[in-house]
C-alpha cells in the first residue's frame, strides 16, 4: 500500500492536449533546444570528438552544442569568467559568461576512495587544475581550471585507477550516493554496495539511459545517512517481518525550484533486485517524464501528477512484469547523520569523520590526506554527502595521532558546531548560474562564529547557495540561504540571500520531513549575513527553554 502524503507539492496542472513531451505517449515534437541537442547526437559520442579533435585543436574548435550541452555527459562544464558580477548572470550570453577553462566532476559512487585513487585526483588537481579540489554534497570531487587539451590524459589517469567522469553531469543517471559507512557500520544489517556496483556496471554509460528528460539522482544504502528524500530514487534499509532485510523504495524527490520530497511506494525490495527496480524507475522517467518544458522535466513533476499508486502500478505492470512485495516503513533518524568524530566499526577498528570548511579542499590537501591515512595504517577514505570525509580501519592506538594529523592538514574531526554544519555550493567563483559568492563567505562565517560563539553547543545546519537552484539544499537546513540580489541600506543592489528557517531532513520517527519556512521579506545582504546568523543563534540560546525540538 502506498502511504498518503502530507508534504507540500507542486500544483498539478491540467494535462494539456499537446502533451508534456512524453515519449511513451508519442509526444516527441516540438523539441526544446536541450532535447534537440540530445536527439541530434547521443551526448556520450562527444568523448570521441574531445579525444580526437577538440583536445588537439583547442577551445575555439569546439561546437557550441557540444560545449554547452553534450560535454556535461562527461563531467565537463565551462566555468564562469572571473569578475562578472551576479547582476549580469541572467543578461549575458553564454559565451560572454564562460572562460576557456572547465570544471571537471569526478563521480565517486558511494563516496569510496582508495589511496591510489585519492593520490591520482590530487596529482591531477596539482598538475592540471591549479590545485583546486572541492568535495561536493553528492560525494563527488570537482576540479577547476581544466584545459580541453588535458582532458584525455586526465581520463587516462582516472580510469587507470577505476575512477570516471562518465555521466557525472547531464540528463542521465548521476553519481549514486551510498552510505559512507557501508560494510563497516555496527548499525548496518545489509551492505548495499553490491547493488551500487551492479548499477554502475550495467547502466552507467549505457546509451539506453543516456537521454533522460533531465538529471536523475539516486541514493542506495542501509543507513539513512544520505539525503534520501532529495533524490529521484532512493533505497533505504528496512527489515520485513516475513522476508527479512531489504530496502524501502522512495521516488520523486528533488529540491531546486518547486522542491518536493520523495515519497514511499510502500514496497520491500530485496538487495539482489535493486538494479532491476532501479532500471524500471529510470525507464519510467525516460519514457513518461516531461520533456517539453525544461523546468518541469524532473521526475517529481510526473509523480505529482500520477501519485504513488499509479507510479507503482506502471512500474510493476509495464517495467517489471510482476508485483512488488508490500513493505513496512523504515526507522528514520531524528536528525541527519554526518559521521563526524571517532566511531567503532563492527570489526573492532574505528572510523574517523573529519571536515574541511564548506567542502573546500585542494590537491595538496588530498595528497597530504593520503599520506596521513597511510601512516596510520588505513587504505580507505569515504566522502559524505555533507562535504565531509571519513578515514576507515583505524586501530585504537592510532586514533588520537590520526586526529592530530588530520588537524595538521586542515581537516577537523572535532569541529565546532558551525564548521560541522555549514555547507556551501560552488557559487560565483566558478558557476555560470550563480548570483552571489558562497565559499569564501562560508569560510568567513564559520571563522567569525567560531570566535564569537565558541560555546554554541547545538547541532545546526547552515546551507549557503549561490542561486535558487539549491545545489547545497537550501530548503532542508536550519538556516537555508538562497543567493539573490538585495537592496542594502543605501538602496544599492548588492549580493544577499533570501532566508529559509527551520528545515532539515531530520525527522521524528515515521514522520515526513519538512521544508524550511521561507520567511516572507526576510533577506540579508552578504555583508550582514554573519551578524544576522550570530543574532539568530544568540537569541536561540537565550530562549532555549521555550525552543522546540529544532533550531529556529
Ligand atoms: Fe551554481 Fe546555483 Fe548550484 Fe550554487 S546553487 S552551484 S550557484 S547552480
Residue (of 167, 168, 197, 165) closest to 182 by Cα position: 197
Q: Which of 439, 449, 457, 415 is nearest to 526 (CA)?
A: 439
Pick from 114, 115, 111: nearest CA to 371: 115
| Mean per-residue pLDDT over the chain, rounded | 92
Determine if ligand 1 sits within 6 Å of the CB of residue 467. yes
CA distances from 34 to 66, 70, 80, 542 (A): 11, 10, 20, 52
- C-alpha cell read off for 185: 557500520
Tell me: pLDDT of 546 over 80: no
Residue 525 has pLDDT above 90, yes or no: yes
Q: Please say if the pLDDT value at position 547 is more than 70.
A: no
In this structure, the residue with its CA closest to atom 2 of ligand 1 is 467
Ligand 1 centre to CA of 42 (Å) is 26
3-state helix, strand, coil in the chain (%, to 5): 35, 25, 40
pLDDT in tens, 285-310: 999 999 999 999 999 999 999 999 99
Number of H helices, E strands in the chain: 16, 21
Q: Is 431 in the pocket of ligand 1 (CB under 6 A)?
A: yes
CA distance 312 to 171: 23
Mutate to test the pocket of ligand 1, among 97, 136, 465, 495 (most ligand atoms within 8 A of CB): 465
Query: How sure is the predictor about 549, in pLDDT bands with cuts at 50, 70 and 90?
Result: very low
Strand duo 216-221 + 173-178: pairing: parallel
Pairwise CA distance, residues 345 & 393, whole Å: 8
Give the residue-averaged pLDDT of 485-504.
90
| Mean pLDDT across 469-489 | 92
Q: What are phi and psi of 510, to 5 degrees?
A: 80, -10
Query: In 3-state terms, what secondary structure has residue 189?
Result: coil
- What is the tens place of the pLDDT at every residue in 326-345? 999 999 887 889 999 999 99
Strand arrangement of the beta sheet that strand 98-106 belongs to? 76-80, 98-106, 141-146, 132-135, 360-362
Asked if residues 264 and 5 have their Cβ atoms less than 8 Å apart, the reply is no
Residue 517's DSSP bridge partners are 501
User: ipTM value of the model?
Assistant: 0.99
Q: What whole-number distance in Å separates Cα of residue 312 and Cα of residue 307?
A: 9
Report pLDDT digits (tens) over 234-261: 999 999 999 999 999 999 999 987 899 9
Cell numbers for 188, please give them: 548496518
Instruction: Tell me, in angstroms, the distance from the centre of ligand 1 to residue 309's CA.
Output: 34
From the CA of 432, how far away is ligand 1's center (Å)? 8
Question: What was the pLDDT predicted at 458?
Answer: 87
Question: Which value, to the nearest 10 degrees, does the dihedral of the CA atoms of residues 116, 121, 127, 129 take?
Answer: 180
Q: For residues 237 and 209, give the distance between their C-alpha atoms in angstroms, rounded to a whole number.
A: 26
464 lines ligand 1 (CB under 6 A): no
- Whole-angstrom Cα distance, residue 309 to residue 92? 44
51: pLDDT strictly greater than 90: yes
> Chain-centre distance of CA 306, in angstroms?
26
Find all residues with CB under 8 Å of 511, minimum gap 6, and list them. Answer: 332
Residue 223 is classified by DSSP as S
Q: pTM for this one?
A: 0.93
Q: In the predicted model, is pLDDT for residue 14 greater than 60?
A: no
What number does the ligand 1 atom closest to the CA of 470 have? 5
Written as nine digits, the cell of 57 is 585543436
Q: Is the CB of 466 under 6 A from ligand 1?
A: yes
Q: Is pLDDT above 60 for 409?
A: yes
DSSP 89-132: TTTS-HHHHEEEEEEEEEB-GGGEEEHHHHHHHHHHHHHHSTTE
pLDDT at 8 over 50: no
Protein residue closest via CA to atom 3 of ligand 1: 471
Ligand 1 centroid to Cα of residue 140, in Å, is: 15
Nearest CA-CA partner of 141 in 129, 151, 133 = 133
Contact 474, 395 (CB under 8 A): no
CB of residue 506 inside a 6 A radius of ligand 1: no
pLDDT tens digits, 279-291: 999 999 999 999 9
Confidence tier at 30 by pLDDT (50, 70, 90)? confident
* C-beta of residue 124 within 8 angstroms of C-beta of residue 132: no
Residue 429 pLDDT exceeds 80: yes
Instruction: Indicate if the pLDDT at residue 552 is higher than 70.
Output: no
Q: 174 alpha carbon to ligand 1 midpoint, in Å?
A: 17
List, in sequence order, every residue forming a beta bridge with 394; answer none if it has no partner: 350
| Ligand 1 binding pocket includes 435 (Cβ within 6 Å) | no
pLDDT at res. 302: 98
Q: Which of 531, 507, 8 is nearest to 255 (CA)?
A: 8
Instruction: Report residue 193 CA to chain centroid gap.
Output: 18
Range scoring the smallest mean pLDDT among 33-37, 330-334, 437-441, 488-492 = 330-334
- Using a 10 angstrom Cβ sphere, with 0-12 exposed, 13-18 middle and 19 or more buried, the burial of residue 397 is exposed
Residue 425 has pLDDT above 90, yes or no: yes
| pLDDT of amino acid 476 | 87
Is the beta carbon of 86 within 6 A of some atom in ligand 1? Answer: no
Cα 472 to ligand 1 centre (Å):
8
Distance 404 CA to ligand 1 centre (A): 34
Q: What percent of the chain has pLDDT over 70?
A: 92
CA of 5 to the centre of ligand 1 (A): 29
Question: Quick one: cell of 515?
Answer: 521544508
| Complete DSSP assignment for 134-174 | EE-TTS-EEEEEE-GGGHHHHHHHHHHTT-B-TTSSSSSEE
Residue with cell 572510523: 351
Does residue 499 contact residue 481 with C-beta atoms inside 8 Å?
yes
Q: Is the distance from CB of 237 to CB of 193 less than 8 angstroms?
A: no
CA distance linking residue 439 with residue 423, whole number of Å = 9
Q: Is the CB of 436 under 6 A from ligand 1?
A: no
Query: How many angstroms separate the CA atoms of 238 and 330, rounded?
Result: 5
Distance CA 222, CA 242 (A): 18
Give me the residues paired with residue 76 across strands.
104
Q: Cα of 299 to ligand 1 centre, how many Å?
A: 20
Amino acid at each position: 500500500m502506498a502511504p498518503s502524503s502530507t508534504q507540500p507539492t507542486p500544483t498539478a496542472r491540467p494535462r494539456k492536449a499537446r502533451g508534456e513531451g512524453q515519449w511513451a505517449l508519442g509526444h516527441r515534437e516540438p523539441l526544446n533546444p536541450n532535447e534537440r541537442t540530445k536527439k541530434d547526437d547521443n551526448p556520450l559520442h562527444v568523448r570521441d570528438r574531445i579525444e580526437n579533435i577538440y583536445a588537439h585543436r583547442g577551445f575555439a574548435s569546439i561546437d557550441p552544442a557540444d560545449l554547452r550541452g553534450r560535454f556535461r555527459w562527461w563531467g565537463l562544464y565551462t566555468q564562469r569568467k572571473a569578475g562578472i558580477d551576479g547582476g549580469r548572470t541572467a543578461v549575458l550570453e553564454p559565451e560572454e559568461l564562460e572562460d576557456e577553462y572547465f570544471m571537471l566532476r569526478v563521480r565517486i559512487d558511494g563516496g569510496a576512495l582508495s589511496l591510489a585513487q585519492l593520490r591520482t585526483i590530487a596529482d591531477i588537481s596539482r598538475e592540471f587544475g591549479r590545485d583546486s579540489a572541492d568535495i561536493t554534497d553528492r560525494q563527488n570531487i570537482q576540479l577547476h581550471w581544466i584545459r580541453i587539451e588535458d582532458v584525455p590524459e586526465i581520463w587516462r589517469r582516472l580510469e587507470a585507477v577505476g575512477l570516471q567522469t562518465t555521466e557525472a553531469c547531464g540528463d542521465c543517471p548521476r553519481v549514486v550516493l551510498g552510505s559512507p559507512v557501508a560494510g563497516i557500520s555496527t548499525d548496518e544489517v545489509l551492505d548495499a554496495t553490491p547493488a551500487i556496483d551492479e548499477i554502475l556496471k550495467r547502466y552507467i554509460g549505457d546509451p539506453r539511459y543516456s537521454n533522460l528528460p533531465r538529471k536523475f539522482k539516486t541514493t542506495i544504502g542501509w543507513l539513512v545517512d544520505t539525503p534520501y528524500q532529495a533524490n529521484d530514487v532512493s533505497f533505504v534499509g528496512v527489515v520485513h517481518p516475513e522476508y527479512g532485510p531489504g530496502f524501502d523504495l522512495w521516488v520523486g524527490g528533488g529540491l531546486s525550484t518547486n522542491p518536493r520530497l520523495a515519497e514511499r511506494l510502500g514496497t520491500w525490495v530485496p538487495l539482489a533486485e535493486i538494479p532491476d527496480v532501479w532500471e524500471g524507475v529510470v525507464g519510467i522517467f525516460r519514457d513518461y517524464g516531461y520533456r517539453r518544458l525544461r523546468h518541469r522535466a524532473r521526475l517529481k513533476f510526473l509523480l505529482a501528477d500520477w501519485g504513488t499508486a499509479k507510479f507503482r502500478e506502471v512500474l510493476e505492470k509495464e517495467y517489471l512484469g510482476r508485483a512488488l512485495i508490500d513493505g513496512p516503513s523504515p526507522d528514520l533518524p531524528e536528525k541527519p547523520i554526518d559521521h563526524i568524530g571517532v566511531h567503532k566499526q563492527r570489526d573492532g577498528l574505528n572510523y574517523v569523520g573529519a571536515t574541511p570548511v564548506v567542502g573546500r579542499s585542494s590537491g595538496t590537501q588530498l595528497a597530504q590526506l593520503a599520506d596521513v591515512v597511510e601512516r596510520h595504517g588505513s587504505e580507505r577514505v569515504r566522502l559524505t554527502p555533507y562535504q565531509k570525509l571519513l578515514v576507515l580501519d583505524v586501530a585504537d592506538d592510532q586514533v588520537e595521532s590520526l586526529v592530530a594529523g588530520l588537524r595538521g592538514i586542515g581537516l577537523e574531526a572535532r569541529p565546532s558546531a558551525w564548521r560541522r554544519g555549514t555547507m556551501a555550493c560552488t557559487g560565483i567563483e566558478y558557476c555560470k548560474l550563480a548570483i552571489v559568492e558562497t565559499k569564501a563567505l562560508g569560510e568567513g562565517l564559520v571563522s567569525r562564529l567560531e570566535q564569537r560563539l565558541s560555546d554554541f553547543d547545538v547541532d545546526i545546519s547552515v546551507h549557503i547557495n549561490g542561486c535558487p537552484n539549491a545545489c547545497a539544499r537550501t530548503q532542508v537546513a536550519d538556516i537555508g540561504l538562497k543567493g539573490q540580489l538585495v537592496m542594502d541600506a543605501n538602496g544599492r543592489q548588492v549580493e544577499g540571500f533570501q532566508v529559509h528557517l527551520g528545515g532539515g531532513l531530520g525527522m521524528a520517527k515515521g514522520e515526513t520531513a519538512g521544508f524550511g519556512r521561507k520567511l516572507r521579506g526576510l533577506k540579508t545582504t552578504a555583508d550582514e549575513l554573519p551578524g544576522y546568523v550570530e543574532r539568530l543563534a544568540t537569541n536561540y540560546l537565550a530562549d532555549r527553554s521555550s525552543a522546540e525540538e529544532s533550531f529556529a
